[in-house]
Structure 1
Amino acid sequence: MIRELLQSGASKILGNKYLIASVVFLVWILFFDENSITRHLKDRRQLSELVQQKEYYEERIAADKRKYEELHKGKAELEKFAREQYYMSKPDEDVFIIVEE
């Protein structure tokens, strides 16, 4: 008797074309559609990576602007930068590079 009820209930559910269409529609929307959940999660992850990159590059831009302004303060700052970054020296000077381990 229970088996007959289960079979009749299962056949009613499987025979309901609206239920089947709804399930197929939901599966399609959730996994295969252009705006699926997997695509949404992937886009969120990419957005967070791009936000981090934006913050990094904004910090770099600010640091470069400070360095640019410092270089344009005068000849002494420009000379200091050339000596520190490019190891430049005056003709009568020697440059010693100390490497720390």
Structure 2
Amino acid sequence: MPKKKNIKYLKPFKNLFVIILVPFAIWMLFFDTNSFLIHHELNSEMEDLENEKEYYKKEIEKDNKAIKELKTEEGIEKLAREKYYMKKENEEIYIIEYEDSLAKQSNEK
């Protein structure tokens, strides 16, 4: 009896079409230069590059806004006061630092 079960499962593999189709499908899925695995890698790489492209577009947009702001006199003055602590004559500047901002600055250095 066990021999008949084995013969039953091997019967499709005696067909010439199946004998050719199975190795061809395995070859195309895994070993060919246009295989499924390579397509999957390329698609994931394209997705990463599209995300990176969107990030840089947003950064360019943000930088263009900053450039537009710095073209005005008020924008230049604001930058000079906040970043470089510059002041006008007859003016005094007091820098107030909070404890939580001091902790962040010491961690960044």
Same fold, TM-score > 0.5, yes or no: yes
The answer (yes or no) to whether the contact 1:89–1:95 under 8 Å persists in 2 is no
Which of 81, 84, 95 in structure 1 is aligned with 2:82? 84
Q: 1 CA distance for matches of 2:86 and 2:52?
A: 37
Provide the identity percentage. Answer: 33
Q: What runs of 5+ residues in structure 1 fail to find an aligned partner? A: none
Q: What runs of 5+ residues in structure 2 fail to find an aligned partner? A: 101-109
The answer (yes or no) to whether the contact 2:28–2:35 under 8 Å persists in 1 is yes
**Is 1:72 the equivalent of 2:71?**
yes
Aligned-residue RMSD, C-alpha = 2.9
Q: How many residues align?
A: 98
How many Å apart are 1:73 and its aligned residue?
Answer: 1.7
Q: 2 CA distance for matches of 1:62 and 1:29?
A: 44
Q: 2 CA distance for matches of 1:83 and 1:31?
A: 62
**Is 1:59 the equivalent of 2:58?**
yes
Q: Scaled by the length of structure 2, what TM-score is found? A: 0.68
Q: Scaled by the length of structure 1, what TM-score is found? A: 0.72
Name the residue aligned to 1:41: 40
